[in-house]
Structure formats: C-alpha cells, structure tokens
Amino acid sequence: MAGRSVTVLNVAEKPSVAKAVAQILSRNPGIRGRDGRSRYNKIFEFDYTIRDQPCKMLFTSVIGHLMELEFDARYRKWHSCDPADLFQAPVHKSVPEDKKDIKRTLEEEARRCQWLVLWLDCDREGENIAFEVVDVCTAVNPHLTIKRARFSALIASEIYQSVQNLVEPNKWFADAVDARQEIDLRIGASFTRFQTMLMKDAFNIDTVTDGRNTVLSYGPCQFPTLGFVVERYWEIQAHEPEEFWSINCSHRSDEGTANFSWGRGHLFDYTCAVIIYEMCIEEPTATVTNVRQQEKLKYPPHPLSTIELEKRASRYFRMSSEHTMKVAEELYQGGFISYPRTETDNFSSRTDLHAIVQEQQAHPEWGIYAQRLLNPETGLWRNPRGGGHDDKAHPPIHPTKFSAGESGWSQNHRNIYELVVRHYLACVSKPAVGAETTVEIDIAGELFSACGRVILEKNYLDVYRFESWGGSVIPTYTIDQQFIPTTLTLDPGVTRPPPLLSEADLLSCMDKEGIGTDATMHDHIKKLLERFYATKDASMRFTPTNLGEALVMGYDDMGYKLWKPYLRAVMERDMKLVGEGNKSKGEVLDTSLQQMKACFLDARLNKVKLLEAMAIFFERSNRVGSEHQNTTEEVVRRCGLCQESDMVLKKNRDGKFMVGCLGYPQCRNVVWLPGSISEAVVTTNTCNNCTPGPVFLIQFKFRQLEIPPSYNVNHLGCIGGCDEILIQLTEICGTGPRMPARARGPTPATSNAHPTPATNNANHTNPRQSACLHCQETGHSSNDCPSQTRRSRNAQHPETNQQSGESSVSCSSCGAPGVLRTANTANNRGRKFYTCQSQECTFFVWEDSINNGTGGRGSARSNNVPTSTRGRNGGRGPRGRGRSGSNSSSGTFVTATGDPISGRRCFTCGDPSHFANVCPNRGV
DNA sequence: GCAAGGTC
C-alpha cells in the first residue's frame, strides 16, 4: 500500500558504487550529486519506490572502514606499560580524524531519514563497515529502520532485485572482523614493542636502516611473508650441487633434427650411466617403437583477478605489485578499467561480454583482432572459462572504456591498460590448437623419446602477445624404422638450487596460505622492504636482509612458528566459525589471546635466542643498559608510590637484581634483592596476600655457595613484603653480588633454566623433538645443524662438531653420527668403513683412510664400495661428488652388487685405459 | 613509533 514518502539514507562502501547504484535506480546515467562534508563522497538524490513504498532516496558512501580500533590513551605510549599488558588493555573503536567529515555527512543526513539502507560490499569487511555506519547513524537517530541490500555485481537487474528484497545485516560476519581486528592489534603491538625495544638497545642496527627511526614490526601477515623469503633463501644456502649424467641422442635427416631425451632422465651414479652408455654405443642402432600423434590445446588464461594482474605485471613489465595497484587504481578512477581489487575470475552470465569487445574495435593494435572476434564466421569467440573464484562483490578486471592511449599516461599506464584489454580479449577467444608428435625409440634396450609440435591455429595467442607456445618440427618416423643416431653422448649436468622468490612467487605463496587479501598483499610485500627485512633485486627477486634473517632465525631457534603462516590460518578458521555463528566472538578472542599471551611471555623468557641470532649479524651496542639481561623489563606490580607506572624487574650491569619503578627518575621507588641471586624471572603467578594486586611472583635462583645450606637454591618469591625467606636472604646476603659480574663463569643455560610459564602454549614446539629445518634430522634444532657449518652465518661460530678428542666420525653431509661397519664385498671383505646413521644419507668413508687422509666424501666410488645406496634413496643422494679420476682411467668398475666388471674398453678407439665418453674422438 | 583491513 502506497503511503507517505519516507526518506532513505543509502550508504555504499565507496563513492563509485554510490554513483553506479544511484545511476541504475534513478535510471539517470547523468545523475549529478551534491557535495557533502567530505570532498570525495557526493550525495545523490532521487525518488524511488520500494515495495509500493514511495521513497526519497539519498545515496552516499564511506571510504572503506569508517572506524579504527585502538588502545585506550593510557596504553598508547610505548613505555606506558609492559607490552604483555596489551593482551588485555582496553581497546575502543573510533572515527579517525581524516574520516570525521564523512561521519559528519552521515550524521546530518541520518537525522532527517527514516530508513537506513546499507549497500556495503557483500563480504565480511563490508558487513563490519555496515555496522560502523549503523553506529554513527543511530547515535543521532535511534529510530532508524535498518536494512541491508545484497548484490553481487553492479548490474541493473541485480540492483533492482536487491533493492526490492532488502534483508537484515549479518552481525556474525561483522563479529568475525571485530575479532580479527582485535587479535591483529594486540599481537602486532605487543610483539612489535617487545622486539623493537629488545633489539634497538642491544645492537647497532641503525646502520642497516638508513639511520631512520627503527621499528622492528611484527604482524601476522608481514612475518609469514618474510618467512617465505627467508625459507627459500635458506633452501638455496643449504643446496649442494650434485653432479648427474644423462645420455642424449639426436638424429638429423633431410626433414630436420629430432633431439631425443633419455627415458631415465638422468642418473646420479656415474658408473651406472657409463655402463649403460657403453651398451648403447656398442649397439647404437635406434628402432622406432612408437609414434603418437595428438591434437593439443593451449587454453587462454582465466578472467583477470587482482593477484593475477599483479603477478603478470611483475612478469611481463617488471612492475612491483604495489606500483601495479597504484596504476590500476588510477586507470579505474579514470573509468578505463573496472574495479581493480577483486578475487573474482569468473564473469557473471549477465555481463554483456560482446559490448566490451565492441568498444575495442577501433584500436590501432588490437582493433582488427576485436573485429575478428565479433565476426561469427571466424568462429574465434568462446565464452570464458572461469577459475572458480568469486568474491560476490566485483567482476573480473576488464576494460570499461576505449582508449588508444591518453596524453597523461606513463608507459606503465599503457602497459597495464594493454594487459587488461588483451587479457580480456584472450579470455573470450578460442584456445590455440597444436599437433603434437611423440616418437619413442629403443637403443640397446634403452628408451628415448622426442616430441615435435606444430601450431595449427594460434587463436587467442594472436592477441595475447605475452604468451607463446614453443614448438619444433621433427622428421617423420614410422614404427620399426631404424636409423643410426647422428650424436649419442653421455653428458654431465649438475643440480641447481631453486631461484630466490620472485614477486610473482611470493604472491602465489601468500595466496596459497591465505596471507593477506587481494587488496593488501602488495602492502605486506612493501612492508618487508620498508622495514629493511628484505631487499628486491633488479630481476624482482627477494633476498632477506641480515635483520630479516636474524628475526626469523631467532623465533625459529625458540621453536616457534610465528614466522610461518599457521597462525593466520588458525585465525582464518576462527573467523569462519564466527561468521557461521558456530563460535562467538568472545570465545575466539578469549582463547586465541590467551594462547598468544602465553606465547608472548614464553618468547620473552627465551629472548636470548633472538639476541643470539641477532649477534650473528650485528655488533652489540655500547649503550647503557644494553646487556641483554635487562633490555626488556618484566612487570612485577603497579608502583604503589607514584601509582602511575609499573614496577619492573631489572638487573644492573654489575649483576644486581632489583625491582624499580618505570617512572624513574621522577619516582624513585625501588626494592633491592639479595646479592646471591643468579637468575630471576617474573612468572605469571600472583601473590594472594599482597595488595594492591596483582603482584607477580618471581622465580629466583640463588648461588648455592652464597646462601646458608638450609635454604633452597630455587625459590618462588614475592617482593610485596610477605615473603619471609626473601627478607631473610636479603639480610644475610646484602643486596650486592659477591663477585663482579665479569668474573663469573659462563652464562647459565638460557631457556632451559627458566621455569615454564603456567599457561599452555599451543604454538610452541620443542626443537629437540621437531625435525631440523636443514637436514630433516631429529635430535637437534636447525641452529645446531652441523650441515650448516658451511653457511656464511656460521662463519663466526666455532666448529663444534670437530672438536679434538672426539673419537667418533660424524657425517660430513648431515652431521649425524657415523656407524662403523664391515665390508663384505669380494675386493674389500673385512675392511671397516663408516656410513651415516641416517638411512637417507649415503655418506661413506673407509676407516683406514681417516688417519692417512685419503678418505672422505666421494670416496665411495673410487674405492669400489657398493653403489646400491644410491638406489635406496631414489636417485637423490649423497652429497658426494660424482666420479673420481680413477674411474675413467683404470677401467675397473663394480656393479650394483659390488662385483667387478672386466674387459670393457673405449668403444670409439678400443683403448682399455678410458671409456668412450672421455675419448678424444668423442661422439659417434 | 605498533597490525591488518577497507579505499581516496
């Protein structure tokens, strides 16, 4: 029933959506908006009818999130509190200064409206922004009727449908985002303050950070991103090139040349390869055993999503993801391309795909192709294949306006526009068609194959100049045909480490592990560079800096996976549960913050690991208070004297422990502790007697010889005044150390000497139980891995596994203990040798060669030992080098079972002193 | 001085 007109405030997530929806609903493409308080957010007005209700529509927007989460003022200064407090410090949402004008517009318009319709993007963040808008509007007009419009694309039919079927906003979705925001803030701020304050005083790191104000930030997205870079770097460092051998065959005829590759790929065992090669050389006639002809298709890419745009721009134009997004944003603002932040790689069936192509027909470079595409006779058109991703908010990136290049465009603008257009044209084109021929031949029982390809139809490749489809023509062969190869060679090769991560690789890793969103991934990458955690070289590949590597190493040495993507994955799972209503926001916050706080406290107890890792790369600073014992101060209680600051546990340079007020020198409240204390750590336990609480108990360790025998060296004590034992020991021992700190023995063991925190820590894995990152062995952590002694980072470390007096032999490949065994082969029966304890490693050395210095890695083959170990680990294997000189000259070989092979000689010249592969007349 | 998420 038509009634009196109501005034409806409609709010979209961004100005462009407000305008687009207003244009559609008002059926006025030229609709003009009036200005509000914010220069970007216009207000469009028109009349509309929603389910028979006449409406005066006011359509405006926000610019993403309207509010930010922050700590209450008292906790905002870095030294205002213990970073551990940030896990429970009060937080609140507020509108930041630069969004105040948008808030004012909403307030002014909301006052005169009866309805509020939320047109935010239909994802979790959009839902959360919707509730921010609701908060602002209902604060000034509590009687508003609140409705949510759900739409998946800015297409007229979709919008009409949506406005007639308004729903309720989804609080669960918004709650999920609230939880994420709070967890990110608390973890980020606490760890950032902790590690920054710890390292800045202890080391001279300003040298690597350009003297800028150094912040060693930690974030649940930036750190895993750094983790990917460091992990790859470590993989490269750990790589040892390994020689392998392959047999290659070519055949030239009038029709061309075919290059046949060996069915076995390559062999790491030189002897084996030579034996097979000899067999081939002795009977080199090739017989064609199979000829297969197949039609092959090469498909065009899926419609363009943000990540693909970034990856391809990086590959094709060497543009950084950050710059790509900046350029894409400008093209979007200019109306040339669609919204560039989208996960969607699927066009809605309602999109007019042909109209987009029609616009491009006049282009001097790809216009002809667009015309061909639209001509049904060419048969070039094909509806695009989707990649299965849909963010339900935006279509794939596609051109929205024709341009043959604008005068203000940089080369990058031209490149990105061209990529978007060509990519779109490719998507709606038929795949390329090729004819592939595979020929298999047999030489002396060995299989070889060659493949030739002819492109029959280029189709999309005609327009998508960024891709190619290599192919070569090979001669025609028939089954049972025989020929003598033109060349038949035994060629050496060497395994190579993987390359450093490229920007495209990094984006793929992040995408796969769910780190960041399409709109923020480039920010996290940029942050690594800004924080001096990584550098990017000319070929767009990332190397960790010393700082980045040290931080990851420090946490890794603690056994923490804080630099791995798992934490984010858990958070993503929790957010999903909250969004589905299967877990409450409070529940997720409670458990994950409790776990993260325990992890934080534990990390702080183990901070020596971080300091040790940093010490590998950086000089210790001479600043006062820089000794690592007192670089972070653990809060014991609130100061009862000034009642403003916290009392923290400190250790002076001379080794004295005390609990002092952070308000020093304004507040001089201090509790001196007995001089006989060797270690003191604040625990999470609190005193039940002392007030005002909480007063955290301290785990003390006293030096045995400095306290009366009736006292225990370990004592969990309180400094609040209730602890008789502590008072007595202070009286007995005084408050100064007996010996100067420097005269004491080695620093006691670090983390193991500390009590474990009372709370459980789900993220902590014991490095003694987990496999070493480098050699995959258990029994040591990655930082103790003997295989890493070659790494540059250990150059400053003593060789701990080579200490004199040790009688055992350790594996030079993985560092595990050697096992003494007795040979049982014909030539060496009874002779002793060592192999590696690990079944996966083929280290070998004769015992009698150790003292005369002839043994070691690679000696396996020159000493005729069984080579079967190679087979046991599937071709990957010993880090030992390939062949020794004696193999190629003596002519004595063993089979896999250790039996000698005699009577072999060079096939080419008949000389028994060498084999054909090293013959001066090499080749056939 | 700290996070990550929106978007101009």
Q: Which residue is nearest to nucleotide B4 (CA to C1')?
A: A184
Predicted pLDDT of residue A629:
41
Nearest to A557 by CA among A760, A770, A331: A770
Residue lying closest to nucleotide B2, CA to C1'? A189
- Give A385 or A836, the one with higher predicted confidence: A385
Mean pLDDT of chain A: 79
A187 CA to B2 C1', in Å?
9
Residue A906, C-beta contacts closer than 8 angstroms, at least 6 positions apart? A912, A913, A914, A915, A916, A919
Q: Distance from residue A325 (CA) to nucleotide B4 (C1'), in Å?
A: 18
At A633, is the pLDDT very low, low, confident or very high (cuts 50, 70, 90)?
low
Q: What is the topology classification, in CATH, of domain A243-299+433-494?
A: Topoisomerase I; domain 3 (2.70.20)
- Is any atom of strand B within 7 angstroms of residue A41's beta carbon? no
Nearest nucleotide (C1') to alpha carbon of A83: B2
Burial class (CB in 10 A: 0-12, 13-18, 19+), A37: middle
CA pair distance A416, A262, nearest whole angstrom: 43
Cα A81 to Cα A195, A661, A665: the distances in Å are 15, 11, 16
pLDDT of A450 strictly over 80: yes
Residues 252-311 of A with CB under 7 A from strand B: none
Non-local (6+) Cβ contacts of A393 within 8 A are A121, A122, A123, A126, A152, A342, A344
Q: Taking a C-beta distance cutoff of 8 angstroms, is the pair A637, A696 a contact?
A: yes
Q: Of all protein residues, which has its CA closest to the C1' atom of B5? A: A125
Written as six digits, the tokens of A453 are 């390809």
- Give the span between the Cα atoms of A489 and A468, in whole angstroms: 31
Protein-nucleic contacts, chain A 511-540 to strand B, CB < 7 Å: 516-517, 519-520, 524, 527
Residues in chain A: 924
Write down the catalytic residue from A218, A339, A460, A560.
Answer: A339
In the CATH hierarchy, which top-level class contains the domain A6-169?
A: alpha beta
Tally Cβ neighbours within 10 Å of residue A353: 17
- Answer yes or no: is A224 CB < 7 A from strand B: no
pLDDT higher than 50, residue A765 = no
- pLDDT at residue number A754: 27
Q: Is the CB of A77 under 7 A from strand B?
A: yes
User: Gap from A12 CA to B7 C1', in Å?
Assistant: 12
Sign of CA dihedral A820, A821, A827, A830: positive
Task: Measure A253 CA to B6 C1' (Å).
Answer: 64
Distance CA A530, CA A222 (A): 11
Q: How confident is the model at residue A820 (pLDDT cuts 50, 70, 90)?
A: confident
The residues of A between 188 and 217 with beta carbon within 7 Å of nucleic strand B are 188-189, 192-193, 196-197, 200, 213-215, 217
A612 exposed, middle or buried (CB, 10 Å; 0-12, 13-18, 19+)?
Answer: middle
Q: Which nucleotides of B are covered by protein (CB under 7 A)?
A: 1-8
Tell me A828's DSSP state.
Answer: T
Give pLDDT tens digits for A872-896: 222 222 222 222 322 332 333 333 3
List pLDDT tens digits, range A652-696: 545 567 787 676 545 557 677 887 887 788 877 788 888 888 888
| Strand B atom within 7 Å of A181 CB | yes
- What percent of chain A clears pLDDT 90, i.e. is strictly above it? 55
Please report the pLDDT score of residue A8 as a whole number. 97
Task: Identify nearest nucleotide to residue A86 by CA to C1′ distance.
Answer: B2
Residue A799 has pLDDT above 70, yes or no: no
CATH architecture of structural domain A177-238+499-613: Orthogonal Bundle (1.10)
Pair of tokens at residue A365: 């470079």
The gap between A15 CA and B7 C1' (Å) is 9
Q: Which of A299-303, A734-738, A799-803, A848-852 is predicted with the least confidence, judged by mean pLDDT?
A: A799-803
pLDDT tens string A159-201: 999 999 999 999 999 999 999 999 999 999 999 999 999 998 8
CA–CA separation, A204 vs A623, rounded Å? 9
Name the nucleotide nearest A192; use CA and C1': B2
Contact A623, A603 (CB under 8 A): no
Top-confidence range, A496-500, A578-582, A605-609, A916-920:
A496-500
A109 vs A751 pLDDT, higher one: A109
Whole-angstrom distance, CA of residue A245 vs CA of residue A540:
32
Question: A306-430 architecture in CATH?
Answer: Orthogonal Bundle (1.10)
Nearest DNA or RNA nucleotide to A64 (CA to C1'): B6
Q: Is A711 a catalytic residue?
A: no
Report CA-CA distances (Å) from A369 to A347, A372, A401, A628, A846.
Answer: 21, 5, 17, 67, 70
Distance in angstroms, CA of A800 to C1' of B3? Answer: 40
Q: Is the CB of A637 under 7 A from strand B?
A: no
Confidence of residue A157 (pLDDT cuts 50, 70, 90): confident
Give the model's pLDDT for residue A918.
Answer: 54
Residues A730-747: tens digit of each pLDDT: 767 766 432 222 222 222
Is A446's pLDDT higher than 70?
A: yes
CA A149 to C1' B3, whole Å? 30
SS3 assignment, position A871: helix
The mean pLDDT of A210-230, rounded to a whole number, is 90
pLDDT at A784: 41
Domain ranges of chain A: 6-169, 177-238+499-613, 243-299+433-494, 306-430, 633-753, 808-918
**CA–C1' distance A161–B5 (Å)?**
29
Residue A919 pLDDT class (50, 70, 90 cuts): low
- Burial bucket for residue A63 (CB in 10 Å: 0-12, 13-18, 19+): middle
Question: Contact, A859 vs A844, CB < 8 A?
Answer: yes
